[in-house]
């Protein structure tokens, strides 16, 4: 059970990123030397699909096809940009593990260990849920394309041969798109769960610090000097958390801002495409699943960003809850300074403009609906 964590099995909160790092190894963010050719193939295939979709866009005349191409193309471009962001910040991400290890070592009580264990388990659930959503979307999209009367592709793209009237060509095109979409799924899952899981882990460490703060001065066996030393250690922990927070914000702010933009347009365009699905049940289900995947991406950011801001706001209450009244002047002076440093909450701001919380999520959905209404009037 979560409430009873064995002392011999100390929780390591970096385990929350276990699958992210495995996927990044497969994709070459943290490359394996013997797989350099495989990484080159990945880059060629994924970059090639984006290029062929862009070329094909100029030959389309139906609004439904244009919108679907733009939606998938914008998503693939966003995936590549987010991957580049992770690639250039890969060392910063590794360096953060030093802070995580220190914070893990400070979580000594069973209550704190249970808090970290819960965070790791929630991170695993987030990862599994995202995997299920993205891979099921690809499978449904492929079924919709195969069962289409018009011989559609999941990603409308140009190819240098006529694949419509050749079984071999048709098979090559579909296999190519399935492989590339699987690569995109691996990139999207690892890159999109990364900010949410980091915020989740950061929130759990803020929560464990609040637990330690509330216990200050409660042990009658400790002297005022011991309590003061423990308070100073809590202040140092808070400074590490702030450094960790700045790293998370720096590594995720631009990517989240980009995803807000892509989600706002993608959900709207996909909803319009669903109205032109011509009764193809698999295509309608695929478009609905695809929309849910896009929405899930920003919902995870906003939900865990909201949790982080709320938990950091509780730190002031935790300071007031400790037994400061029975402590000496030095303790009270340090506590007052500590209180002043907690007045600003930990809020991720996407692109320096949008706070990453549930109110922003609602705003993005409203904007998407407004754009959907405009497009429906135009058609």
The 3-class SS string of 230-258 reads HHHHHHHHHHHHHHHHHHHHHHHHHHHHH
- 169-213 tens-digit pLDDT: 888 888 888 888 888 889 889 998 999 999 999 999 999 999 999
How do 349-350 and 354-355 pair as beta strands? antiparallel
- 27-48 tens-digit pLDDT: 888 888 777 788 888 888 777 7
Computed on alpha carbons and rounded to an integer, the radius of gyration of the chain in Å comes to 25
DSSP H or E stretch at residue 207: helix 167-214
DSSP 8-class letter at 15: G
Tell me, yes or no, if the pTM score tops 0.85. Answer: yes
> What DSSP string runs through 99-112?
HHHHHHHH--SHHH
41 token code pair:
């193939």
24 has a pLDDT exceeding 50:
yes
Greatest Cα pair distance in the chain: 86
Query: Tokens 């400061």 — which residue?
Result: 324
Backbone angles phi, psi at 349, to 5 degrees: -115, 115
Pair 200, 304: CB distance under 8 Å: yes
Residues 6+ apart with CB under 8 A from 204: 13, 115, 116, 118, 119
In angstroms, how far is CA 91 from the centroid of its own chain? 18
229 token code pair:
């030393």
SS3 94: helix
Give which of 127, 135, 131, 133 is closest to 178, Cα–Cα: 135
SS3 349: strand
- 230-284 tens-digit pLDDT: 999 999 999 999 988 888 888 888 889 888 988 888 888 888 877 776 656 777 8
DSSP H or E stretch at residue 355: strand 354-355
4 has a pLDDT exceeding 50:
no
């Amino acid at each position: 059970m979560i409430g009873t964590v064995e002392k011999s099995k100390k929780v390591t909160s970096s385990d929350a990123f276990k699958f992210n790092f495995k996927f990044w190894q497969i994709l070459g963010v943290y490359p394996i030397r013997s797989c350099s050719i495989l990484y080159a193939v990945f880059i060629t295939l994924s970059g090639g699909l984006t290029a062929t979709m862009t070329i094909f866009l100029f030959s389309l005349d139906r609004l439904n096809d244009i919108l679907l191409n733009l939606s998938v193309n914008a998503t693939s471009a966003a995936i590549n940009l987010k991957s580049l962001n992770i690639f250039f910040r890969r060392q910063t991400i590794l360096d953060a593990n030093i802070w995580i290890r220190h914070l893990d070592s400070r979580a000594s009580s069973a209550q704190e260990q249970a808090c970290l264990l819960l965070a790791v388990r929630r991170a695993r659930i987030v990862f599994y849920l995202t995997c299920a959503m993205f891979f099921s979307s690809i499978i449904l999209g492929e079924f919709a394309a195969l069962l289409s009367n018009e011989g559609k592709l999941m990603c409308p793209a140009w190819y240098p041969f006529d694949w419509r009237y050749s079984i071999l060509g048709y098979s090559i095109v579909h296999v190519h798109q399935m492989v590339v979409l699987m690569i995109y799924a691996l990139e999207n899952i690892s890159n999109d769960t990364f900010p949410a899981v980091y915020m989740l882990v950061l929130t759990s460490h803020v929560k464990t610090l609040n637990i330690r703060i509330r216990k200050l001065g409660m042990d009658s066996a400790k002297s005022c000097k011991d309590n003061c030393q423990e308070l100073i250690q809590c202040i140092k922990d808070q400074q590490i958390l702030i450094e960790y927070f700045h790293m998370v914000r720096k590594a995720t702010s631009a990517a989240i801002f980009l995803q807000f933009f892509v989600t706002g347009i993608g959900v709207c365009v996909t909803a319009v495409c669903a109205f032109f699905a011509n009764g193809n049940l698999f295509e309608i289900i695929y478009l609905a699943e695809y929309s849910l995947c896009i929405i899930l991406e920003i919902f995870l950011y906003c939900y865990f960003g909201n949790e982080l801001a709320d938990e950091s706001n509780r730190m002031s209450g935790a300071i007031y809850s400790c037994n400061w009244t029975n402590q000496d002047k030095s303790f009270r002076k340090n506590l007052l300074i500590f209180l002043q440093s907690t007045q600003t909450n930990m809020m991720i701001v996407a692109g320096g403009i949008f706070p990453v919380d549930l109110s922003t999520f609602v705003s993005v959905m409203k904007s998407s609906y407004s754009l959907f209404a405009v497009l429906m009037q135009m058609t």
